Structure 1
Amino acid sequence: MTIDTILLAVGPMDTVRAEELADTALEIAEPLGATVVIGHAFTEDEYEDIHDDLGLEARAADVDPDAVAARRAPVGDLVEIFTDAGVDYEVRGALGEVSSEVVDMAIDVDADRMIVGGRRRSPAEKAVLGSVSQEIILQAPCPVTYFRDLDVME
C-alpha cells in the first residue's frame, strides 16, 4: 500500500506541540513524496467563541470552514514548517462534531495515514468527558499514529 496522503488532525491545544506533530508527519511525507492535509475541525460553539478574535463576521451557518481553519492555531505554524521543508500540503476545515468531522475528512481526502494528537486523561475523565482522539482512532478509515504529549493540558 502506498502512502500518498497524510491527514494531520489538529486543534488549538496542539499549538504547544506543532513542531513535534510536523516532524512526525515529515518523517512519513518527505521520503514518500506524500501530501499532508492539515485538518482542523471545530464545533459551532467553538466558532462562535472565536470568530470575533479571528476578525470574521459570518455566523457559523455561513462560514467557510477551510478559511477558518487556515486562520486558527496551530495551522499557520504547520504551513510554515511544511513550506520550508518543501512538502506539499493543503488546509482543510470542518464545522460540526469534531471526531466525526475528522473521520469524514479522512474519507474525503482519501487519507492513507492519519496523525492525531491527544492528551493524558484518567479513565474517569474519559468516561465523563469522552475522548475525541479515541473516537477518531476507533472510526478511522486508515491507520492512525497517535501522538500523546504528557505535558499538554496537565
Structure 2
Amino acid sequence: MILLSYIPTEPGRVAAAAAVREAAAHDTDLVVVNARRGGALVDSRTASDEDLDAIVRGAAEAGVTATIHRPESTDVVAAILDAATEHGAQAVVIGIRHRSPVGKLLLGSTAQQILLEAPCPVIAVKSEG
C-alpha cells in the first residue's frame, strides 16, 4: 500500500499524481491521508470532499483502489506516521515546495519530520513552481 500525505496545494496535487503512478506501478492500493489539526477553526491543510473525491476517481481511472483517511490530531506529523504504520505502507508520498536557503536551515517542517521519522521509504515530489 502506498500512503499519500495530501494537502490542497500545488505540491499536494503533484504528489497525488505521483502517488497514483507509484501505486499503479506496484499494483497496490492507495491511502490518501488528509490530517486535520484538532481544535483549529480554519486549517489550510484541510482538503474539500470534492478534492479528495477527485483523487479517488483519478486513481480508479488508473486501476488503483484509493481510500481516504482523515485523522484529526494536534500533531499532523504523528497522524501521518501513525497512518503509515497502521496501514503497513510500502512508501509515503509527500509534496514539497521550494524553500529559500534560510528556510532550509529551519528545523521542524512537516516534510522534514516525515522524511526523518517515517517507518518506510518516503518519496518527496517537488512541483514545478
The match for 2:127 is: 149
Mapped pair 1:6 → 2:20: no
The change in CA–CA distance for 1:32 and 1:125 in structure 2 (over 3 A counts) is closer
The match for 1:28 is: 22
Aligned residue pair count? 126
Identify, as 1 or 2, the structure richer in helix. 1
The match for 1:59 is: none
Q: SS of the residue aligned with 1:147?
A: strand
- Deviation, 1:130, is 3.2
- Deviation, 1:21, is 2.6
CA RMSD of aligned residues (A): 2.4
> What is the one-letter code of the residue matched to 1:10?
Y
The match for 2:42 is: 49
User: Does the Cα contact within 8 Å between 2:2 and 2:89 map onto a contact in 1?
Assistant: yes
For residues 105-127 of structure 1, give each alpha carbon's deviation from its aligned partner in whole angstroms, at most 9, with x where no partner exists.
Answer: 10111101110111112243355
When normalised by structure 2's length, the TM-score is: 0.81
- Please list every run of 5 or more consecutive structure 2 residues that lacks an aligned counterpart in the other structure: none
Q: SS of the residue aligned with 1:49?
A: coil
For residues 49-84 of structure 1, give each alpha carbon's deviation from its aligned partner in whole angstroms, at most 9, with x where no partner exists.
Answer: 26xxxxxxxxxxxxxxxxx8672x642221120122
> What is the one-letter code of the residue matched to 1:147?
V
Mapped pair 1:87 → 2:64: yes
- Deviation, 1:23, is 3.3
The change in CA–CA distance for 1:111 and 1:17 in structure 2 (over 3 A counts) is closer
Identity %: 28
Distance in 1 between the 2:21 and 2:54 partners? 17
**1:107-122 → structure 2 map (5 Å cutoff):** 107-122=85-100
Distance in 2 between the 1:140 and 1:91 partners? 19
User: Does the Cα contact within 8 Å between 1:120 and 1:150 map onto a contact in 2?
Assistant: no
Which is greater in Rg? 1
The change in CA–CA distance for 1:126 and 1:44 in structure 2 (over 3 A counts) is farther
- Please list every run of 5 or more consecutive structure 1 residues that lacks an aligned counterpart in the other structure: 51-67
Distance in 2 between the 1:26 and 1:135 partners? 23
For residues 1-36 of structure 1, give each alpha carbon's deviation from its aligned partner in whole angstroms, at most 9, with x where no partner exists.
Answer: xxxx0001111224x752x33432233222332000
The match for 1:131 is: 109
